[in-house]
Amino acid sequence: MLHNQSIAKVLKELRKAKKYRQQEIARLSSLTQSELSNFENERVDVRLSTLKRIADALDMSIIAVPKNKLTEIEAILSPGDNHVTNRPLTPLEKYGISDDDD
């Protein structure tokens, strides 16, 4: 489930799935590669404004969801098990993003 992962790990996984290098996202986020690396590896906490810039660089949004609605929202966004194609989900599919959305 998404809510059990840190936002840093989720954004790092999305960056890799979209085949961006840290340098590219750092530049688009007005960060150094070292600052982005420290965030992705959970060595530092960042301000919400920095988090928004990183998400924007990945063409993603950060939203607040009421805890009592989280399971419902995840069910809508997540394709669940991939019984149709019988293959593992791609990292993008895991977060409800089709590979065609790039």
Give the pTM.
Answer: 0.72
Give me the helices (H) in 1-102, please.
Answer: 7-17, 22-28, 33-40, 48-57, 70-77, 91-94
Compute, in degrees rounded to 10, the torsion defined by CA atoms 47, 42, 93, 100: 60
**Confidence (pLDDT) at 70:** 83
* CA distances in angstroms from 32 to 26, 36, 37, 67, listed in the order given: 6, 6, 9, 33
Domain count, the chain: 1
Token pair recorded at residue 60:
């993603």
CATH of the domain at 42: 1.10.260.40
Q: What is the DSSP letter of 84?
A: T
10 within a domain of the structure (yes/no): yes
Residue 15 is part of which domain span? 2-97
62 within a domain of the structure (yes/no): yes
102 within a domain of the structure (yes/no): no
**Confidence (pLDDT) at 84:** 47
**Confidence (pLDDT) at 64:** 86
Q: How far apart are CA 79 and CA 50, in angstroms?
A: 29
pLDDT in tens, 16-67: 999 999 999 999 999 999 999 999 999 999 999 999 999 999 999 888 889 8
